[in-house]
Amino acid sequence: MKNFFITFFSILFFSQASFALVKIDITRGNLEPLPTAVSKFYIEDPSKFSEELKKLNLEKKISETISNNLKRSGLFYIIDPKSYIQSPNIAHVKPTFQDWALIKAQIMVSGKLVIDEQKRLRVEFRLWDVVGGKEIEGLALFATPQSWRRIAHIISDKIYERMTGESGYFDTRIIYVAESGPKDQRVKKLAIMDQDGSNNKYLTLGNELVLTPRFSPTAQMITYMSYFKNLPRVYLLNIETGLQEVVGDFPGMTFAPRFSPDGKKIIMSFAKDGNSDIYTMDLSSRVVEQLTTHPSIDTSPSYSSDGKYITFNSDRSGSQQIYVMRSDGSNVNRISFGEGLYGTPVWSPRGDLIAFTKIFKGNFYIGVMRSDGSGERLLTQNFYQEAPSWSPNGRVLIFYREKKSGKSGTGGESSLWSIDLTGYNERKINTPTDASDPAWSGLLSK
């Protein structure tokens, strides 16, 4: 767990206020990705780089990481670096825009690496509007050389933000359940990685079944469900210290936990005598509050981003459907009325939409609807997929899929996928093992 969190010493902006001629509209799908050149970053004074540092190959790795981030967003098309004419240092200091226009680049990213007296890595980046012929963004970051990846993610966010007008989601992490073994004896471990799949780490050993981890929006904490000592309960895990604790003192199964948007409460289901209801527990006062009292299954609760409402699924109508209520448990309203079953509602961080899983005629769909139930839109269909989680900017959903399996436990592979809110840009997220139950963190450098 050590070195897991990187300290940034300072962030210095020297951006000039100027308008770009090129801009990306991300509210529509099916758009042409923006032709983008990402020049290799250059080392200003190689003599300051130790042999060890040189081996990190940062000038290549940083630009590659930025390129991969931008490419995966589906909004940028990265022009093959082999066609770049200018050397990285000229591109960064005084680019000749005609050379970049020639290869049809509309924007260009350049950068410089310096090791300062305190042995810190200083990364300077510039974003150039090739069409308008000017610099539109610039940033310098200091960090330990080992944390170069986060610098690349922060730069990627800056580019995304400048070109779309919305905050990015690259400097984030994914918590998920790593799976191995046959389906009837699946071993499950908590795992955490950067949003691009790098820095994968396991947080539990797999001795007990663990499910549905979710990040705290405010602290380095996650909440999840564990069958520790064969008692299925909701737990808290501090990912910096590795300390775990059970949430509350419930005489039965607690499950489906999430944090409130202020990070002060856990909302979850508690099952007692065959009836699952929704409860909250205040993490500092430990006060427990019961929010639903219906003799049906009420589970998968998720707060609205302002904390005023809660969405959840219930089978009180006779089938699994989505409901919205006030955060005190009053004014319960059903919002899903389409054909089929609806589950795992999760409120967008932007506040406008609820993402869900829909089960209809033997297929599973990930979709979104407005919080009053109108405007239902299905984004993707599969044999089995569920549990969407939003990127912090509310533009991308991550979820998991499971393939069909055979009698002998073969097949049944589970994997993580992401899709844009537009329904485009569906992508598999590579993980070292099978994976399920993904949840997206907030921006780390917020």
Partner 1 sequence: MLTKSLKNAFLVIALGIFISACSTTAQKKTDDADVYTGTDTVKFLATGVADRVFFGTNSSRLTTAAKATLDKQADYIKSSKISVVIEGHADERGTREYNLALGERRANTVSDYLMTKGIAKTSIKVISYGKERPVNTDSSALAWSQNRRSVTVKSN
Stretch that binds partner 1, among 225-233, 322-330, 347-355, 422-430 (CB under 8 A): 225-233
Stretch that binds partner 1, among 194-202, 238-246, 328-336, 356-364 (CB under 8 A): 356-364
Count CB-CB contacts under 10 A for residue 176: 27
> Binders of partner 1 among 257-286, rule CB under 8 A?
269, 271, 273-276
Least distance (Å) from partner 1 to the CB of residue 404?
4
In whole angstroms, give the CA distance from residue 132 to residue 20: 7
For the chain, count helices (H), then strands (E). Answer: 5, 31
Q: For residue 93, what are the contacts with CB-CB under 8 A and spacing of at least 6?
A: none
285 versus 362: smaller Cβ distance to partner 1: 362
341 versus 443: smaller Cβ distance to partner 1: 341
| Contact pick of 71, 186, 334, 350 for partner 1 (by CB under 8 A) | 186
140 contributes a contact to partner 1 by CB under 8 A = no
Cα–Cα distances in angstroms (integers) from residue 413 to residues 241, 328, 369, 385, 430, in the given order:
32, 40, 29, 12, 13
223 contributes a contact to partner 1 by CB under 8 A = no
The crossing angle, in degrees rounded to 10, of helices 58-72 and 148-164 is: 40
Give the x/- contact pattern for partner 1 in 385-404, rule: CB under 8 A.
Answer: -xx--------------x-x
Using the structure block, give the residue that is written with the tokens 């055979």. Answer: 406
Reading the block at residue 332, the tokens are 């319960």
221 versus 346: smaller Cβ distance to partner 1: 346
Asked if 419 contacts 380 with a C-beta cutoff of 8 angstroms, the reply is yes
- Give 330: exposed, middle or buried? Use CB within 10 Å, 0-12, 13-18, 19+: exposed
81 versus 412: smaller Cβ distance to partner 1: 412
Provide the residue type at 224 as one letter. Y
Backbone angles phi, psi at 39, to 5 degrees: -70, 150
Using the structure block, give the residue that is written with the tokens 């974003």. Answer: 127
In whole angstroms, give the CA distance from residue 212 to residue 176: 8
91 versus 268: smaller Cβ distance to partner 1: 268
In whole angstroms, give the CA distance from residue 282 to residue 198: 34
384 contributes a contact to partner 1 by CB under 8 A = yes
> Binders of partner 1 among 196-215, rule CB under 8 A?
209, 211-212
In 3-state terms, what secondary structure has residue 360? strand
Least distance (Å) from partner 1 to the CB of residue 421?
21
Least distance (Å) from partner 1 to the CB of residue 177?
10
124 versus 179: smaller Cβ distance to partner 1: 179
> Binders of partner 1 among 282-341, rule CB under 8 A?
297, 299-300, 313, 315, 319-320, 341
106 versus 226: smaller Cβ distance to partner 1: 226
Residues that bind partner 1 (CB under 8 A): 182-184, 186, 209, 211-212, 225, 230, 232, 253, 255-256, 269, 271, 273-276, 297, 299-300, 313, 315, 319-320, 341, 343-344, 357, 359, 362, 383-384, 386-387, 402, 404-409, 411-412, 437
